Amino acid sequence: MDIRLTWQDSVSQEEQQQDYALPLAIGRDIGRIPDTYNDQSLTKVVFPHKQVSGHHALIYLDDQQVVLEDISTNGTKINGELYKQTSHVLNNGDVLQIGPFTITVTLFTSPAGTEVIIDDGTQVIIKPTGKADESDDTAVHFSPGVSDSSAGDSTIYFHPENDEPSAQPFTPEPLMTPFPPPEFMKAQLVDVQSLYATGNRVEEKDYLALGGGMGSFVWVDYLRIYGVKADHIAVLGLEQKPYGRYQRLCQNSQIPPYERLRSGSDSCPDNIWGWPGYAWREAWREIGSGQIISAGKHLWQVFAEPVFADTYTPKSGKVFESVDREAARIGWSSMLRYGRIRAIRKTNDGRYAVAYSIPGETQRTHGFMVGRYVQIATGYPAIRFLPDLQKYRQETGDYKSVVNAYEKHDHVYEQLEQRGGTVILRGRGIVASRILQRLWEARRKNPKIMVIHLTRKPVLEGYKYGPARRKVENHWEFQPYNWPKGTWGGDMRAKLEASSPQQRYELLKQWGGTTTADRSDWRRIVQEGLDQGWYKVEFGQVEKVERTPEGKPESWLKTDRGVLKVEADFIIDSTGLEAKPKDNPLFADLIDHYGIALSPYGGLNVANDFEIREMRNQKGRIYASGILTLGGPYAAIDTFLGLQYAAQRTADALVAARAPGIRYLDGFGSLWQWIKWAANREP
């Protein structure tokens, strides 16, 4: 008999799940846990929290029963009942409370276990055999929320050749000649002349922006405004528009052009000065069309948010239009190169070689780009998909009834509007709020729509930092943006930047968590649904999802009332996106090849100017931006303003490094560049 423990990470809110052999010991200090129990090798699980005793509890098999023996100071709760220095038989589905950790128990039979430390910053899995895996060291470090079997089982990756969310794994056709060449992949330093010798296209530029998305766009915008000419810059990516992937994810998650993003008025990716912001622009358009009251409302929001008015947020369509305008102004299309990034290697002359492939219907072509100053902003590597739902789809082939919010799933709402039905909603962040709004809109066409919201546990109070505590209502935790506003440019930003990596992890743990925007219309929809009975919240652990004889997905939910079977027409997973660098093949290779360090939070351990220090090559520099640097010097790094902050720090660092063609932007020069922006003239 073995045991599976399931809990929720306090920072990322991701579900953690690990399997262990019995007997098993739980404690705070691995040095205080013995190596054996009754002459049997003891599996060790360490939760380093002051409420957990050094050696807190034993779980072992006794006469075919699994027994938990508490040996702690504070005791262990089992299904809400406190047991202190006593034993109790565990059953499948029991819920343990050990310090702040709520852990669900699953009993099963499987191979022997491992020794695991669950650290505040990093999970360290140590193989008990003492032998290294074929591709790993004996000690393997994972970011929070990552297990060595989860990456392929609970994510939907973006197709590497068209950047679309792909439920099916991508299998490239075999090549007669492998690319990148093996000698390229093995080398620490590549000779640039050897790239020309391959016969593939080689292009050399001073500046390379890898990714081609919003992070690349913002960086290139700064370079151009700081004085770099367009013909010194190349951008490599798969999207014609820098917001291509982002726009698709918005549309799939039911944010059409007329709906609003979770972003502030002054977070303007098209305007590095942030003025006029989106609220002023929208008000000006409305004044021009005679909508004086609406214009006044938006301006009032900017001055009164968030205490006396809902936070202003821009319409997605207007944001994309503004990016189109700025892209044309800086010459984005002339710098853009279409291709899939395959690998990066340092060159022997202090630069970097980037291998890329150009997807084609009949054949692929390949090439290399060489640059001295490189920025990587590849975005989220994958979409998070709950393991039980992924398993259901793989076993049944049913990709219509069980969907991810970031996949195209308009058929769900079309069928509900025609026939009605029941929907199970998973997740409780900003995307879940928007999905619930879309279901509410569908109910106006067909009121025979029921929504059952499944979540692991009640949310009774919000996260607290100092005297501040986030608002909670009906088990939704509210905050205008995904991080407190003080992390954008206030004292919280300065504090995070000045902190050590471990201190940053602790701060992010206090500031983070899953929240949704505090919008009065969303709160009203939830309350209306509860009052009218078409929206219901159920708490518990989903044990499995099976297909009924009628072809519908049925969820088995372990609750404090027993096992609840919930049948639905559709299940929508809105649990979010994956942010682990190792899920990105490009960074997985760089981490392995050049030993790039990860922060305790699990992101890239970048410097305060966002340089990846392990990649420095003489005068050459590689910088990173976006969500993969979370855990670094800036919390709100996956916001428009966060991308701009990283770009400005990087641009200033390039000036300090005497990179060619770039100069500081200050004083009259900044005013002159703003006038050019306002007049829509080239920088």
DSSP for 213-278, please give it.
SHHHHHHHHHHHHTT--GGGEEEEES-SSTTHHHHHHHHHTT--TTSBPS--TT--TT-TT--S-H
What is the Cα–Cα distance from 604 to 631, expressed in whole angstroms?
7
What is the per-residue pLDDT for 92? 84
Q: Which fold has domain 182-263+313-381+585-594+604-678?
A: FAD/NAD(P)-binding domain (3.50.50)
Closest among 326, 170, 124 to 243, alpha carbons compared: 326
Cis amide linkage into residue 242, ω under 30° from 0? no
CATH of domain 2-142: 2.60.200.20
- The 8-class DSSP code of residue 617 comes to B
C-alpha 657/C-alpha 660 separation (Å) is 9
- The phi-psi region of residue 291 (left if phi > 0; otherwise alpha if psi is between -120 and 50; otherwise beta) is beta
**417: helix, strand or coil:** helix
For 175-184, 262-271, 475-484, 606-615, which range has the lowest pLDDT when averaged over its residues?
A: 175-184
pLDDT band at 357 (very low <50, low <70, confident <90, very high): very high
CATH of the domain spanning 388-479+515-574, picked from 3.40.50.300, 3.40.50.12780, 3.40.50.720, 3.50.50.60: 3.50.50.60
At 588, which helix (H) or strand (E)? helix 585-594
- Token pair listed for 550: 């009628």
Q: With b meaning 16 or more CB within 10 Å and e meaning fewer, what string describes 436-463?
A: bbbbbebbeeeeebbbbbbbbeebeebb
CA dihedral 308, 515, 422, 445 (to 10 degrees): 30
Residue 576 CA to residue 9 CA, distance in Å, equals: 14
Task: Give the per-residue pLDDT at 572.
Answer: 98
Kindly report, residue by residue over 434-453, the tens digit of the pLDDT: 999 999 999 999 999 999 99
Q: Three-state DSSP class for 648? A: helix
Confidence at 490, pLDDT banded by 50, 70, 90: confident
Q: What is the pLDDT of residue 129?
A: 29
Average pLDDT score, the chain: 88
- Tell me how far apart the alpha carbons of residues 373 and 207 are, in angstroms, rounded to a whole number: 5
Q: Tens digits of per-residue pLDDT, 630-652?
A: 999 999 999 999 999 999 999 99
DSSP 661: T
Angle between helices 410-419 and 430-443 (to 10 degrees): 30
Q: Does 113 have pLDDT greater than 60?
A: no
Calculate the dihedral angle through the C-alpha atoms of 461, 465, 468, 469, rounding to the nearest 10 degrees: -10
Compute the average pLDDT of residues 373-400: 94
What pLDDT does residue 512 have?
A: 84
Q: What is the pLDDT of residues 38-54, one digit of tens each?
A: 888 888 888 877 888 98
- Give the contacts of 356 (CB within 8 A, at least 6 positions apart): 236, 337, 339, 340, 341, 342, 366, 367, 368, 369
Going by C-beta distance under 8 Å and a sequence separation of 6 or more, which residues neighbour residue 326?
221, 269, 270, 271, 677
pLDDT of residue 176: 53
Residue located via tokens 């016969």: 199
Output the CA torsion sign for 119, 123, 128, 132: negative
Q: Tell me the mean pLDDT in the region 3-20.
A: 71
Nearest-angstrom CA–CA distance, 288 and 71:
72
Q: What is the pLDDT of residues 591-639, one digit of tens each?
A: 999 999 999 889 999 999 999 999 999 999 999 999 999 999 999 999 9
Whole-angstrom distance, CA of residue 582 vs CA of residue 585: 7
Given a cut of 60, whether residue 172 has pLDDT beyond it is: no
Is pLDDT at 133 greater than 70 in this prediction?
no
pLDDT band at 149 (very low <50, low <70, confident <90, very high): very low
Comparison of pLDDT for 379 and 137, the residue scoring more: 379
Q: Where are the alpha helices (DSSP H) in 336-409?
A: 387-396
pLDDT for position 9: 61
Q: Which region holds residue 274: left if phi is over 0, alpha if psi is between -120 and 50, else beta?
A: left
Given pLDDT bands bounded at 50, 70 and 90, which one contains residue 128? Answer: very low
First-to-last alpha carbon distance for the chain, in angstroms, is 68
What are 517-535's pLDDT values in tens digits?
999 999 999 999 999 999 9
Determine the pLDDT at residue 162. 66
Rounded-to-integer distance, Cα 67 and Cα 234, Å: 62
Angle, helix 292-304 to helix 278-288, in steps of 10 degrees: 160
- State the pLDDT at residue 178: 83
Please name the amino acid found at residue 621.
Answer: R
pTM of the model: 0.79
pLDDT at 130 over 70: no
At residue 402, what is the residue type?
V
- β partners of residue 430: none
- All CATH 2.60.200.20 domain ranges of the chain, comma separated, are 2-142
Q: Given a cut of 60, is residue 361 above it in pLDDT?
A: no
Cα separation, 275 vs 278, in Å, equals 8
How far is it, in rounded angstroms, from Cα 29 to Cα 54?
Answer: 5
- Comparing 142-156, 271-285, 321-335, 359-373, which segment has the lowest mean pLDDT? 142-156
CA–CA separation, 546 and 393 (whole Å):
10
Which pLDDT value is given to residue 140? 24
Three-state DSSP at 558 gives strand
Cα–Cα nearest to 608, from 488, 683, 499: 499
- Tokens, residue 421: 């039905």
Query: What does the pLDDT read at residue 168?
Result: 62
Give the Å distances, CA to CA, from 639 to 7, 33, 294, 626. 28, 43, 26, 8
Q: Which of 209, 243, 225 is nearest to 324 (CA)?
A: 243
What pLDDT is stored for residue 137 in this prediction? 27
Q: Of 252, 379, 317, give the one whose Cα is nearest residue 638.
A: 379
List, by residue range, all CATH 3.50.50.60 domains of the chain.
182-263+313-381+585-594+604-678, 388-479+515-574
Q: What is the mean pLDDT of residues 286-297?
A: 93
pLDDT of residue 339: 95
DSSP string computed for 61-93? EETTEEEEEE--SS-EEETTEEE-SSEEEE-TT
Contact 144, 601 (CB under 8 A): yes
- Alpha carbon 431 to its chain's center: 13
- Residue 479 dihedral angles phi and psi, to the nearest 5°: -165, 135
| pLDDT score of 668 | 94
Give residue 152's pLDDT.
41
DSSP state of 512: -
Confidence (pLDDT) at 407: 94
Cβ proximity of 513 and 529 under 8 Å? no
Collapsing DSSP states into helix, strand and coil, what is residue 18?
strand
What was the pLDDT predicted at 208?
A: 99
What are the E-state strand segments in 430-568?
A: 449-455, 464-465, 468-469, 471-473, 476-478, 535-539, 541-547, 553-559, 562-567
